[in-house]
Chains A and B, each alone.
Chain A
């Protein structure tokens, strides 16, 4: 539920409970107030009539407003105010009146004086009160609703914008988040925290990436020393068993150093250190790489068929283009079956490389680091991650599929 809906709903709920309470309160208050006023007036009228009577003037009754009569059946003076319903000869119906009844001895005569004031019927008053209050509150609500919608749209605008910025924020891009300034303190505070948080995250991410690169660099030299000395030891006249062991160690350092080179490459790709983008024809790179891979194809008796329809031009770094193609070919050889085949097809929109394979490959996982075919021990499991990373950097779409023992990778522009 949106914040504005929530507040509106609460607002409406409060209104609905306040309107009856306020109406009742107002009704009683008005009633009391009106009675007080009316009573006061009645007393003033009474006084005026008494003054008139005292001065000896005769006072005629005007029904039902006031009635003056001489009474003899009461000797007690009294003065009381009460509600009464009296027949109004003009309106010709019983109307509610407030009446003051007074019995007073004036000039040795007992007078009975009744002064009346028409009052509003309670139901009428209540109806008016409810009508007015409801009307006022409804109007208030509608006005507030519209105003609130408008204002909140304006106030939340920077917030919505910043939210979409957050949605698109990626550590990989390395760019700082750009937020719109808000005039609301809470939003300002949020923005400040977000900017601080993301810049810290960026910094940590950068440090982590640099760490990978630096670590790879530092590992390179000891590995070189190890492998140099092991090669020297291999030269010596050692018993066959010892030689075999030394050679195993040597091979492991070689593998380690290859792995390290690939990690370094990935780190450099992550750090976007290859930016020398030029327009490259993947066809010519493929042609050259196919020549280089010839011994690998021959060795495993793999038949390569190529179908070149047109030239695929891509804006990318030439070093990366070579690594991309070499990795794809290497992969196609590595996971091929003996006497298998590789088929390549290229046109101006896409490049397709497929190979026969006996492995059950999970196409969702193959681009992840250190995911590798189970049968091939001599694999670092980084080749296709490198391929994926390079395609991303070169804005190529990559997809893989496995159908009926044919593994296929498509690079699309």
Chain B
């Protein structure tokens, strides 16, 4: 996957670039509209991560450039402003998704992957992990080829785990993924145990292995070991 990260906070964009490069993607960064347009004119990207507040203007202005220069590219807007207006305008002008700062990088990764499946692979991809496969566009989960009935939240959780496999996922990030409400009203994350318990039970009942390792006091890690 080839990414362009348009973000004026250098520290933040370096962290993002490092993260995506680690998972084998090519990630470039631009710290203003000027640099972004340079990159966009010269190369094709799969995904653009776009910050709204840029030093030389609103990131929303780059949306037109992306549409005219890129053949098929998913755009995810990042914004420090938790403003509904930005969200509506952004999505209206051709952005595909919207994430508010501060965010968990695993959430961003999960969204980027979902966007990639939807935009680039036209939604007909199957997400595989060992004996588990998920038809993401139909929200169907299969273990050893047999359909397992999961709730919407459980499916979303499983996609999140597989998209971020081999990573320690803090319970905070999991809670925020399940519960999208922008303001975390409850600062108690215990409720995620119920979801995880149910998910584990259903997968095991269908003959699947439990790949979800508990990292004591911190969260979980979805991996083979």
**A330 and B15 contact, Cβ closer than 8 Å, known pairs A227-B102, A243-B218:** no
Interface band, chain B: 35 or more
> Are A298 and B168 in contact (CB-based, < 8 A)?
no
Q: Determine the residue in chain A with the shortest Cβ distance to B11.
A: A225
A224: chain B residues at CB < 8 Å are: 9, 12, 101-103
> Are A295 and B194 in contact (CB-based, < 8 A)?
yes
CB distance from B53 to the nearest CB of A (A): 9
Q: Determine the residue in chain A with the shortest Cβ distance to B102.
A: A224
> Are B170 and A247 in contact (CB-based, < 8 A)?
yes
Partner of B102, one of A220, A251, A262, A334: A220
> Are B191 and A299 in contact (CB-based, < 8 A)?
yes
Asked whether any CB of chain A lies closer than 8 Å to the CB of B185, the reply is: yes
Binds B, one of A1-9, A123-131, A230-238: A230-238
> Are A234 and B181 in contact (CB-based, < 8 A)?
no
Secondary structure type dominating chain B contacts: loop
CB distance from B195 to the nearest CB of A (A): 7
Specify which of B102, B170, B173, B186 lies most central, judged by the most chain A CB atoms within 10 Å of its CB. B102
Q: How far is the CA of A240 from the CA of B167 in the complex (A)?
A: 16
> Are A298 and B191 in contact (CB-based, < 8 A)?
yes
> Are B80 and A221 in contact (CB-based, < 8 A)?
yes
What number of residue pairs across chains A and B have CB atoms under 8 A from each other? 100
Q: How far is the CA of A234 from the CA of B183 in the complex (A)?
A: 24
> Are A333 and B103 in contact (CB-based, < 8 A)?
no
CB distance from B22 to the nearest CB of A (A): 9
Partner of A323, one of B106, B183, B192: B183
Chain A 252-288 per-residue mask, 1 if CB under 8 angstroms from chain B, else 0: 0011011001101100000000001000000000000
Partner of A292, one of B104, B181, B188, B193: B181
Q: How far is the CA of A245 from the CA of B9 in the complex (A)?
A: 27
Q: How far is the CA of A244 from the CA of B194 in the complex (A)?
A: 24
Asked whether any CB of chain A lies closer than 8 Å to the CB of B56, the reply is: no
Q: How far is the CA of A298 from the CA of B103 in the complex (A)?
A: 27
A258: chain B residues at CB < 8 Å are: 183-184, 187
> Are A234 and B168 in contact (CB-based, < 8 A)?
yes
A292: chain B residues at CB < 8 Å are: 179, 181
> Are B185 and A231 in contact (CB-based, < 8 A)?
no
The B-contacting residues of A in range 310-340, CB under 8 angstroms, are 319, 323, 326-327, 329-330, 333-334
Asked whether any CB of chain A lies closer than 8 Å to the CB of B82, the reply is: yes
Asked whether any CB of chain A lies closer than 8 Å to the CB of B19, the reply is: yes
B146: chain A residues at CB < 8 Å are: none
> Are A231 and B186 in contact (CB-based, < 8 A)?
no
The A-contacting residues of B in range 8-38, CB under 8 angstroms, are 9, 11-12, 15-16, 18-19
Partner of B188, one of A217, A225, A251, A378: A378
CB distance from A274 to the nearest CB of B (A): 9
> Are B217 and A251 in contact (CB-based, < 8 A)?
no
Q: How far is the CA of A234 from the CA of B184 in the complex (A)?
A: 22
> Are B12 and A221 in contact (CB-based, < 8 A)?
yes
Q: How far is the CA of A380 from the CA of B184 in the complex (A)?
A: 11
Partner of B19, one of A232, A234, A255, A378: A232
**A326 and B181 contact, Cβ closer than 8 Å, known pairs A231-B104, A247-B218, A251-B172:** yes
A383: chain B residues at CB < 8 Å are: 185
B184: chain A residues at CB < 8 Å are: 258, 261
> Are A261 and B82 in contact (CB-based, < 8 A)?
yes
Q: Determine the residue in chain B with the shortest Cβ distance to A250.
A: B170
Asked whether any CB of chain A lies closer than 8 Å to the CB of B148, the reply is: no
Closest 9 CB pairs of A and B: A330-B185, A224-B102, A295-B191, A378-B187, A299-B191, A228-B15, A225-B11, A220-B80, A257-B102
Interface residues of B (CB under 8 A from A): 9, 11-12, 15-16, 18-19, 80-82, 84, 101-106, 167-168, 170, 172-173, 178-179, 181-188, 190-195, 216-218
With A225-B11, A232-B18, A299-B190 given, name 16 new contacts (CB 8 A): A220-B80, A220-B101, A221-B9, A224-B9, A227-B102, A234-B170, A247-B170, A247-B218, A254-B172, A255-B187, A295-B179, A299-B188, A299-B191, A330-B186, A334-B186, A379-B187
28 A-B pairs with C-beta separation under 8 A: A217-B81, A220-B101, A221-B80, A223-B102, A224-B102, A231-B104, A231-B173, A234-B168, A234-B170, A234-B218, A240-B216, A247-B217, A255-B187, A257-B102, A258-B184, A261-B184, A265-B82, A265-B183, A292-B179, A295-B179, A296-B186, A298-B191, A319-B84, A326-B181, A333-B186, A378-B187, A379-B187, A383-B185
